[in-house]
Amino acid sequence: ARELHFAAVDLGASSGRVMVGEVAPDRLTLHEVHRFPNQPTRVMGTLHWNILSLYQGVLDGLGAAATHAAARTTPGTTPRTNPRTTHSAGLTSIGIDTWAVDYGLLDASGALLANPVHYRDTRTAGTAGKVAAVLPPPALYAATGLQHLPFTTIYQLMAARGTPALAAAHRLLLIPDLISYWLTGEAGTELTNASTTQLIDPRTRDWAGPVAEALGIDLALFPPLRHPGDPAGTLREEVLAETGLTAPTPVTAVGSHDTASAVVGVPATTRDFAYIATGTWSLAGLELDAPVLTEASRAANFTNELGVDGTVRYLRNIMGLWMLQECVRAWGAQGNRTTRTDLTALLREAAEAPPLRSVVDAGDPAFLAPHHMPDRIADACRRTGQPVPRTPAETTRCVLDSLALAHRRAIEDAQRLSGRKVRVVHIVGGGAHNALLCRLTADACGLPVVAGPAEAAALGNVLVQARAAGAVSGGLADLRALLHSTQPLRQYEPTGDRSAWDRAAARLAEAQATGQVT
């Protein structure tokens, strides 16, 4: 069978990329055609996404995807495809995934009312109490199954209450739905990402009307729900002109939450797997058939976000490589020579640094905001009576040991709370490139780690489109088998003395119990 070409737009918190996936029933390759930085900007005290610059990156990337696919499509042959999909300059369809929870507000004419606010902005400080006063945390968890994160959409809407923009809003579009709207003129709310708003009931996989009502949120702001695989419009004429695409090109809904697409992109060959999607965040947990809404699950701050094909993403948010990114940024700003390009050297030195000397709680919201990350890590070590890292390499080791420990804790808790057993841990996302993090995670968990693909979100995005277009068929296990047989993967067996990790975990738990850790 010949290959079809799908464009995956994947906007992460650190970079945006457009990738072209070439898919046939037994073949899958991914080509990066465009990557651009995602650089938020603080304006008058509020941290915003540069949404137009990101959209320009999407347009440029689609132009590059069109060129790439056209060059790869052999002229004169007719691709086998679903009748509802159209073939355009060799591009069968486009899918969009981005980070969760954030949104743009549109007025009645469809114009964007304000630049979207970044989830790391502090406007949500203090809103948790307001929400809890109306809906106590146990009731909110029972209704939505989401872990407490201070920035989910309900808290942002609470913070935005009374603002002129919200008052004038006719529509609210989550970020991938906003990009999709600009490309096609058609509005929808994709379900996996909608589940991160804290306004979806994970049992019915539909809006949680009573939650919205209690919080005074107008669900009519959200366009109708769409599911991964649904058609989501065709590119507007002006977008065709802008990108050089020549024929009608459909957009297909995918798991538009990047983590939902990344979980599709986990190359598991067994049901007994845990995954860690490691990029700016580490999202560590299990894929389940049904939500776990117990009080113990709430207390452990586990989330039930919705996945593709009726699944539940039962996981916990861990600060992730954000902590390292922010340290690297701080060291660069101080004139230290450690920059992004020196990451490999820094990781090499960190691998030689003393192990488990100091660990911090990588789930602590104290690390959420930008700026001063090395100082915040040093403070956390000082407060818990541990040695303060002195060099970038020592700080990096502290971050990676702490992430591995948080990965282990999440995977242990997920098993305990769901009653499932894990035999292998898959690490996908940018962190799959970080051999030290993968090795430490294998050691901490006492389980084999399979690392890769780093671009799991783009691959999951491509596969859901490819299935909708008839280029591949089957369930998630079939899509994963294709990933496993086509993508380069690396395996790390656990080594070393696991009791050192037990001791570090106990030390941290004790410090937390006595309130020493922020």
The residue ranges that bind ligand LRH (CB under 6 A) are: 12-13, 99-101, 119, 257-259, 280-281, 283, 317
User: Which of 373, 370, 320 is CA-nearest to residue 48?
Assistant: 370
C-alpha–C-alpha distance, residues 302 and 428, integer Å: 20
Query: Are the C-beta atoms of 230 and 252 separated by less than 8 Å?
Result: yes
Work out the number of other CB atoms within 10 angstroms of the CB of residue 339.
12
CB under 5 to 8 A by kind: which of ligand LRH, ligand ADP, none does 512 bind?
none
CB under 5 to 8 A by kind: which of ligand ADP, ligand LRH, none does 324 bind?
ligand ADP
Considering the candidates 201, 258, 401, 413, report the single residue annotated as catalytic. Answer: 258
C-alpha–C-alpha distance, residues 85 and 167, integer Å: 39
Closest separation in Å from C-beta 262 to ligand LRH: 8
Closest separation in Å from C-beta 300 to ligand LRH: 17
C-alpha–C-alpha distance, residues 407 and 423, integer Å: 15
User: Which residues neighbour 514 within 8 Å (Cβ) at sequence distance 6 or greater?
Assistant: none
For residues 12 and 431, which CB has a smaller minimum distance to ligand LRH in the complex? 12
Residue 207 DSSP SS3: strand
- Residue 13, CA atoms < 13 Å, CB-side half-sphere: 26
For residues 35 and 337, which CB has a smaller minimum distance to ligand ADP in the complex? 35
C-alpha–C-alpha distance, residues 176 and 178, integer Å: 5
For residues 15 and 486, which CB has a smaller minimum distance to ligand ADP in the complex? 15
The label of the residue with tokens 């230290």 reads 336
Cα-to-chain-centroid distance, residue 74: 35
For residues 235 and 428, which CB has a smaller minimum distance to ligand ADP in the complex? 428
Query: Are the C-beta atoms of 276 and 427 separated by less than 8 Å?
Result: yes
Residues that bind ligand ADP (CB under 6 A): 12-15, 279-280, 321, 324-325, 343, 429-431, 433-434
Q: Tokens for 162?
A: 């009374």
The label of the residue with tokens 């890590």 reads 377
Closest separation in Å from C-beta 350 to ligand ADP: 11
Closest separation in Å from C-beta 453 to ligand LRH: 16
Closest separation in Å from C-beta 183 to ligand LRH: 20
Concerning whether 364 is annotated as a catalytic residue, the answer is: no
For residues 241 and 345, which CB has a smaller minimum distance to ligand ADP in the complex? 345
By beta carbon distance, the residue nearest ligand ADP is: 430
CB under 5 to 8 A by kind: which of ligand ADP, ligand LRH, none does 119 bind?
ligand LRH
- Report, as residue numbers or ranges, the catalytic residues: 258
